[in-house]
């Protein structure tokens, strides 16, 4: 069996052996890439890296060269088949490889920037870990190295590996290695943590006091950062509201006017409307999802269980849509007439206007997709999110019990009968296993297999590690409880900033649906002397409204909570709000409107 790492090393060797000269020229041309490679932990010299990029550039030129040769030999007549002049392939032979080289030059910087963003979140918690371990009796550098076992801080784990590599490869002492590592990372907190610690050791200062103060400062800065990100998220939500509600409403109204009053001179063709409704707007929503991810305060662990369920429900939902949505546009899709008849029966029973069948079908399909994901999110991320309050309260109680002279194990046993909300069950399990003699590491591994809340895992890991290393001293548990309260306050501030944004999309979805349907009712119910294709107009306009309300919910969940899976809940409610708006306005008499 071929070792992937060995194959990668062999590939580097071959690229450098045959394209090393080109790599050297490109390395001298693009200055600063070596620094970005080190910051991104890509572990490759810049000349070797550019020799690999040169290989990919040569590989990318094969397509236009092959197309040009086949066209000249009349095997692939580009002019006849695609209307493309074969001579256009000549500049592409240079443009495509050039683009690959430029992309390769900026990729380390992009990767380093992404890594720095993730590392910036982990640094306060790494400092918290070191402070707790030092208060338990370990030296700061031993505490730093111990983070190699901690999968909860993956980027800091890479930094520990990098510092160890510097020590082993250059022979410098650990303090010098930490100083060298800090200079390669452009993060103020990281530099202050490592350089300040090194300076404190060299001058004989109180390193524990320094670490405590530094960690408190980091959490204060993190609190400020969370508030600023909340303001950015609010601006993002406002921008999406303007584009996703007011912009959509304006274009929908222009389409209605154009269809109802062809002589008005303002119109959008059905093709343009389809392109905008089913391609442009969903694409914009996903763009805002990405932007929401960029401005969010994201923790290193992601709970994937709701998305696994989503991947299952999407193809099933697509099959359902072929029978309860598409047949209302073309009978050729119909394979199960009973499903179409069911939608028509629902429309008649609930007194919806004729032409709203496709919108009802789309809503049912989207509910079929979102509700299982919502339930999965509630029973995983939603339920786990409540653990942190119970854990913080437990740690504070543990400090007080520990002050009475009881051992950590006996303190856990004494607190196991108290009510800590969702954490009580896990606490009883942990206490029982400690009494049975289970290894502490095994207890944590079993706990982490059930819980995916990162903050809860960090606190329990620190508690278990503190007991394993220093016996769970009063000072170390006091430190842990104090920092746990800081993280709880941080989460409360983040929710306080973002929660007011929730009301905006619900009002917007109701206004968007209601205004569109009322406008439809006005034109179809008024005697304007024109023939309006009423049913077709309802079907064309109201179907994308349901989809747009759904994507509005996904974006809302992402921006407000930081999880797309939380958006399944809002997508479900907003889809129902949209359907309710259609029903409500369908049953209003607007001067001969929809009823």
- Return d(Cα 539, Cα 551) in angstroms, integer: 19
- Return d(Cα 381, Cα 457) in angstroms, integer: 13
Residues in the chain: 595
Using only C-alpha atoms, the chain has a radius of gyration, in whole angstroms, of 30
State mean pLDDT over 477-485: 81
* Coil, helix or strand at residue 127: helix
Q: What pLDDT is attached to residue 379?
A: 82
State mean pLDDT over 263-281: 74
For residue 589, pLDDT over 90 is answered with no
Q: Please, which pLDDT band fits residue 362 given cuts at 50, 70 and 90?
A: very high
Across 99-103, 250-254, 472-476, 544-548, least confident range:
472-476
Q: Which two tokens stand for residue 448?
A: 């982490």
Q: Please, which pLDDT band fits residue 366 given cuts at 50, 70 and 90?
A: very high
Across 320-324, 516-520, 554-558, least confident range:
516-520
**pLDDT tens for residues 211-263?**
888 888 888 887 777 777 777 887 888 888 888 887 888 887 777 777 666 66
C-beta separation of 546 from 583 below 8 A:
no
* Distance of alpha carbon 419 from the chain centroid: 33
C-beta separation of 373 from 574 below 8 A:
no
For residue 595, pLDDT over 50 is answered with no
Question: Looking at per-residue confidence, does 484 or 358 come out higher?
Answer: 358
Specify whether the backbone of 522 is left (phi greater than 0), alpha (psi in -120 to 50) or beta: alpha
- Return d(Cα 204, Cα 166) in angstroms, integer: 24
Question: Looking at per-residue confidence, does 384 or 390 come out higher?
Answer: 390
C-beta separation of 293 from 556 below 8 A:
no
* Coil, helix or strand at residue 298: coil
Q: What pLDDT is attached to residue 593?
A: 42
Closest Cα partner for 29 from 10, 7, 6, 54?
54
Q: What pLDDT is attached to residue 591?
A: 44
Q: What pLDDT is attached to residue 79?
A: 58
Q: What pLDDT is attached to residue 266?
A: 59
- Return d(Cα 472, Cα 465) in angstroms, integer: 8
C-beta separation of 493 from 427 below 8 A:
no
For residue 86, pLDDT over 80 is answered with no
Closest Cα partner for 157 from 144, 168, 176?
144
Q: What pLDDT is attached to residue 592?
A: 43
- Return d(Cα 104, Cα 188) in angstroms, integer: 28
For residue 7, pLDDT over 70 is answered with no
For residue 264, pLDDT over 60 is answered with no
Helices (H), 471-566: 474-498, 503-525, 534-561
For residue 371, pLDDT over 60 is answered with yes
| Count of other CB atoms within 10 angstroms of residue 221 | 15
For residue 383, pLDDT over 90 is answered with no
For the whole model, what pTM was predicted? 0.75
**pLDDT tens for residues 23-70?**
888 888 888 788 888 777 777 888 899 999 999 988 888 877 876 777
Could you please report the per-residue DSSP string of 151-200?
TT-HHHHHHHHHHHHHHHHH---HHHHHHHHHHTS--HHHHHHHHHHHHH
Across 127-131, 221-225, 457-461, least confident range:
221-225
Give the whole-number percent of the chain exceeding pLDDT 70.
89
Across 89-93, 283-287, 333-337, least confident range:
89-93
State mean pLDDT over 513-542: 70
C-beta separation of 323 from 506 below 8 A:
no
- Return d(Cα 112, Cα 33) in angstroms, integer: 10
- As a 3-state breakdown, the chain gives helix, strand, coil percent values, each rounded to 5, of 80, 0, 20
Q: What pLDDT is attached to residue 195?
A: 87
For residue 324, pLDDT over 90 is answered with yes
Across 130-144, 189-203, 548-562, least confident range:
130-144
- Return d(Cα 429, Cα 433) in angstroms, integer: 6
State mean pLDDT over 528-556: 79
Q: What pLDDT is attached to residue 323?
A: 92
Q: Which two tokens stand for residue 594?
A: 């929809």
User: Please, what is the average pLDDT of the chain?
Assistant: 81
Q: Please, which pLDDT band fits residue 143 given cuts at 50, 70 and 90?
A: confident
* Coil, helix or strand at residue 8: helix
Residue for token pair 């709970």: 303
Q: What angle do CA 362, 574, 497 make, to 5 degrees?
A: 150
Q: Which two tokens stand for residue 142?
A: 């031993």
* Coil, helix or strand at residue 352: coil
For residue 594, pLDDT over 80 is answered with no
């Amino acid at each position: 069996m071929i070792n992937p790492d060995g194959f990668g090393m062999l590939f580097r060797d071959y690229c450098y052996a045959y394209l090393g000269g080109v790599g050297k020229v490109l390395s001298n041309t693009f200055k600063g890439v070596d620094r970005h490679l080190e910051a991104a932990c890509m572990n490759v010299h810049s000349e070797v890296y550019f020799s690999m990029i040169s290989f990919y550039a040569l590989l990318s030129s094969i397509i236009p060269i092959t197309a040009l040769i086949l066209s000249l030999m009349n095997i692939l007549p580009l002019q006849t088949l695609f209307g493309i002049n074969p001579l256009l392939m000549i500049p592409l032979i240079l443009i495509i490889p050039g683009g690959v080289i430029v992309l390769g030059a900026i990729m380390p910087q992009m990767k380093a920037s992404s890594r720095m963003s993730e590392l910036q979140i982990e640094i306060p918690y790494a400092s918290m870990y070191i402070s707790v371990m030092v208060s338990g009796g370990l030296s700061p550098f031993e505490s730093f190295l111990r983070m190699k076992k901690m999968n909860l801080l993956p980027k800091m784990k890479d930094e520990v590996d990098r510092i160890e590599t510097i020590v082993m490869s250059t022979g410098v002492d650990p303090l010098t290695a930490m100083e060298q590592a800090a200079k390669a990372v452009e993060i103020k907190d990281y530099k202050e943590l490592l350089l300040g610690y090194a300076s404190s050791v060299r001058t004989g200062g109180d390193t524990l006091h320094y670490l405590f103060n530094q960690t408190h400062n980091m959490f204060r800065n993190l609190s400020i950062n969370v508030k600023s990100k909340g303001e950015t998220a609010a601006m993002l939500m406002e921008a999406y509201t303007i584009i996703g509600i007011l912009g959509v409403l304006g274009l929908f109204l222009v389409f209605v006017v154009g269809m109802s009053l062809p002589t008005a001179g303002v119109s959008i063709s059905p093709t343009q409307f389809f392109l905008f409704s089913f391609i442009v707007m969903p694409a914009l929503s996903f763009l805002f999802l990405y932007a929401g991810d960029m401005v969010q305060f994201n923790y290193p662990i992601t709970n994937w269980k709701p998305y696994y369920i989503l991947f299952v429900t999407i193809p099933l939902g697509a099959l359902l849509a072929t029978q309860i949505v598409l047949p209302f546009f073309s009978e050729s899709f119909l394979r199960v007439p009973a499903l179409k008849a069911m939608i028509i029966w629902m429309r008649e029973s609930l007194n919806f206007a004729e032409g709203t069948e496709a919108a009802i079908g789309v809503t049912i399909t989207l509910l079929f997709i979102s509700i299982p994901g919502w339930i999965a999110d509630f029973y995983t991320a939603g339920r786990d999110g409540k653990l942190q309050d119970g854990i913080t309260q437990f740690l504070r109680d543990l400090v007080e019990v520990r002050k009475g002279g009881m051992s950590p194990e006996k303190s856990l046993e004494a607190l196991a009968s108290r009510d800590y909300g969702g954490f009580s069950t896990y606490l009883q399990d942990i206490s029982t296993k400690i009494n049975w003699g289970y290894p502490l590491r095994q207890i944590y591994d079993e706990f982490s297999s059930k819980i995916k809340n990162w903050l809860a895992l960090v606190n329990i890991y620190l508690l278990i590690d503190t007991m394993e290393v220093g016996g769970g001293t009063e000072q170390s548990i006091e430190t842990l409880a104090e920092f746990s309260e800081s993280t709880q306050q941080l989460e409360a501030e983040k929710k306080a900033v973002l929660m007011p944004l929730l009301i905006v999309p619900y009002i917007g979805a109701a206004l968007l649906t209601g205004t569109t349907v009322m406008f439809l009712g006005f034109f179809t119910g008024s005697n304007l002397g024109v023939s309006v294709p009423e049913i077709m107009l309802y079907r064309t306009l109201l179907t994308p409204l349901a989809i747009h309300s759904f994507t509005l919910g996904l974006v809302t969940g992402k921006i407000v909570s930081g999880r797309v899976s939380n958006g399944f809940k809002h997508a479900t409610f907003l889809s129902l709000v949209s359907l309710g708006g259609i029903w409500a306005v369908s049953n209003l008499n607007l001067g001969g409107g929809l009823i």
